[in-house]
């Protein structure tokens, strides 16, 4: 997936602002209300953050990012997805999801979790797994209902069943499934791959769940023909049979863990809770259970890598920029800041406002989140550090952020973000809030 970005110059939500003058509260007079970016569909100038004060679109030149002389190619490739991605998947289409619920001898099927309940809480409800992905992708990605099986029975206890391993479990359950596998083979090659379907194995243990990112490979028959199924497998639980309130939100009550596991299966994201010190702390859904079950959006970095967000990208040129961002939960307003002298790093800015979404209630606090990214610095993955008032000055990414410490209305002073060599690369100042919009200066 390749995008053409608007250069952040001239009028727009990022603009050249006077260096002198009153402090933050007086900046409102000089802040424009809209910026320009290129759409996926064409090169027409489209407003990113609303309308200008005159009510019309603001004009700004559109530049293909390769035309920017001071743009490090390796950074652009990493940010935009035009080069090899390290552990992310930006080409996944809307997969059809097959849900196979089953019980064992010691964890039998919860009769309150009917096929219709599964459809509502996975695909159709106002607070569902599909609703989560529809929101975090800004409507670009949905989980389509492929098939919901009737609950099955496995004649063994949970321990013996677990000893089989996920591949064998999948083979056993798929052989009993009534799913129309042939309809998932979009390209008619006899192979059903992870961009065509995802399989959910739903148990009734009330536990945590998991995911197998490396595709399982089994053979099934559908319409009299054999199909090889190589898909990511997610296994997550519904509430146990017989527990109190077993029919109340039996699946979405576990949504923080489920979205974490789909982060593995869909976006190929790694667990980050093993890092010590942890550079993203409780602000990262892929930390999951270390900081308790917290339902929240993926980070701006993950949204960009997945192709969910089309960010505005600015290459530092020594000028001061004034930025205004609406909440990223419901607005695709993410800024990437690149410094020509740090080609293996970049900084990502987003405004997180936890009150704006039912899928963000687990985020620790509201405010400006700044993510520093080091390319390929963690094995096959990029290393990401949340920069806040406690961690911003650490070039080694060796501090765990803890709330409350995001940049918000209580922030005063100037913050200088160094790169990994300790050289100052970004200066943040004049942070203030106007309703749920965060405004700040960058240089």
Both tokens assigned to 342: 């740090």
The pLDDT of residue 18 = 32
d(C-alpha 332, C-alpha 50), whole Å:
12
d(C-alpha 75, C-alpha 8), whole Å:
17
d(C-alpha 350, C-alpha 272), whole Å:
20
Q: Residue written as tokens 């639980």? A: 237
How far does CA 50 lie from the centroid of its chain?
Answer: 24
DSSP 101: E
The pLDDT of residue 124 = 92
Going by C-alpha positions, the residue among 390, 372, 330, 325 that lies closest to residue 351 is 325
DSSP helix/strand/coil, 123: helix
d(C-alpha 241, C-alpha 247), whole Å:
9
Both tokens assigned to 147: 């098939």
The pLDDT of residue 38 = 31
H/E run at residue 207: none
Mean pLDDT, each 10-residue run in order, the chain (443 residues) = 29 34 32 31 30 28 29 48 38 81 97 95 92 94 94 96 91 93 93 89 89 78 92 90 93 91 85 83 84 89 86 87 93 91 92 94 95 83 90 88 91 94 96 92 93
Going by C-alpha positions, the residue among 208, 250, 236, 253 that lies closest to residue 102 is 236
Sign of the C-alpha dihedral computed for residues 221, 224, 228 and 229 taken in this order = negative
The pLDDT of residue 375 = 84
Q: Which backbone phi and psi does 206 adopt, to 5 degrees?
A: 70, 20
The pLDDT of residue 213 = 67
Domain ranges within the chain, ordered by starting residue: 15-87+294-442, 96-268
DSSP helix/strand/coil, 82: coil
The pLDDT of residue 273 = 81
Tell the burial category of 34 from Cβ atoms under 10 Å away from its Cβ (0-12, 13-18, 19+). buried
Neighbours of 4 (CB within 10 A): 18
Check: CB of residue 109 under 8 Å from CB of residue 202.
Answer: no
Nearest 10 degrees: CA dihedral of 145, 299, 260, 385? 160
The predicted model scores a pTM of 0.82
Distance separating the N- and C-terminal Cα atoms of the chain: 30
Check: CB of residue 149 under 8 Å from CB of residue 141.
Answer: no
d(C-alpha 359, C-alpha 127), whole Å:
8
d(C-alpha 224, C-alpha 226), whole Å:
7
Contacts of 359 (CB under 8 A, 6+ apart): 127, 131, 132, 135, 136, 295, 296, 297, 329
Check: CB of residue 230 under 8 Å from CB of residue 194.
Answer: yes
Q: What is the CA radius of gyration of the chain?
A: 23
The pLDDT of residue 439 = 93
Q: Which backbone phi and psi does 433 adopt, to 5 degrees?
A: -110, 140
Q: Which backbone phi and psi does 62 adopt, to 5 degrees?
A: -105, 130
């Amino acid at each position: 997936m390749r995008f053409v970005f608007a250069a952040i110059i001239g009028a727009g939500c990022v603009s050249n602002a006077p260096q002198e003058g009153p402090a933050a509260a007086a900046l409102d007079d000089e802040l424009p209300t809209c910026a320009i970016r290129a759409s996926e569909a064409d090169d027409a100038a489209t407003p990113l953050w609303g309308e200008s004060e005159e009510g019309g679109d603001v004009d700004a030149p559109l530049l293909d990012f390769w035309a920017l002389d001071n743009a490090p190619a390796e950074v652009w490739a990493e940010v935009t997805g035009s080069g090899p991605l390290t552990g992310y998947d930006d080409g996944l289409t809307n997969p059809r999801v097959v849900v196979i619920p089953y019980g064992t001898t010691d964890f039998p099927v919860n009769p309150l979790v009917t096929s219709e309940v599964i459809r509502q809480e996975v695909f159709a409800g106002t607070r569902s797994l599909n609703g989560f992905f529809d929101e975090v992708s800004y409507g670009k990605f949905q989980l389509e209902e492929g098939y919901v099986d009737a609950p099955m029975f496995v004649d063994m206890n949970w321990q013996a069943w677990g000893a089989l391993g996920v591949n064998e479990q999948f083979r056993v359950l798929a052989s009993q499934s009534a799913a129309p596998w042939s309809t998932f083979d979009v390209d008619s090659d006899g192979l059903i791959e992870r961009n065509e379907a995802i399989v959910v194995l739903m148990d009734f243990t009330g536990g945590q769940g998991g995911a197998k990112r490396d595709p399982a490979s089994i053979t099934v028959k559908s319409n009299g023909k054999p199909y090889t199924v190589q898909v990511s497998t997610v296994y997550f639980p519904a509430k146990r049979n017989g527990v109190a309130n077993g029919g109340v939100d039996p699946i979405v009550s576990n949504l923080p863990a489920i979205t974490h596991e789909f982060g593995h299966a869909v976006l190929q994201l790694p667990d980050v809770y093993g890092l010590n010190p942890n550079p993203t702390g409780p602000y990262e859904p892929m930390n999951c259970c270390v900081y308790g079950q917290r339902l929240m959006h993926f980070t701006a970095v993950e949204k960009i890598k997945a192709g969910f967000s089309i960010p505005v990208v600015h290459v530092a040129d020594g000028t001061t920029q004034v930025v205004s961002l609406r909440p990223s939960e419901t607005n695709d307003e993410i800024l990437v800041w690149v410094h020509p002298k740090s080609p293996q790093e970049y900084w990502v800015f987003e405004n997180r406002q936890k009150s704006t979404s039912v899928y963000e209630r687990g985020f620790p606090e509201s405010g400006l989140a700044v993510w520093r990214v080091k390319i390929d610095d963690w094995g096959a993955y990029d290393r990401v550090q949340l920069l806040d008032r406690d961690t911003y000055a650490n070039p080694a990414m060796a501090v765990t952020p803890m709330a409350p410490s995001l940049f918000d209305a209580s922030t005063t002073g100037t913050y200088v973000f160094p790169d990994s060599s300790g050289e100052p690369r970004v200066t943040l100042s004049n942070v203030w809030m106007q309703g749920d919009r965060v405004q700040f200066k960058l240089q």
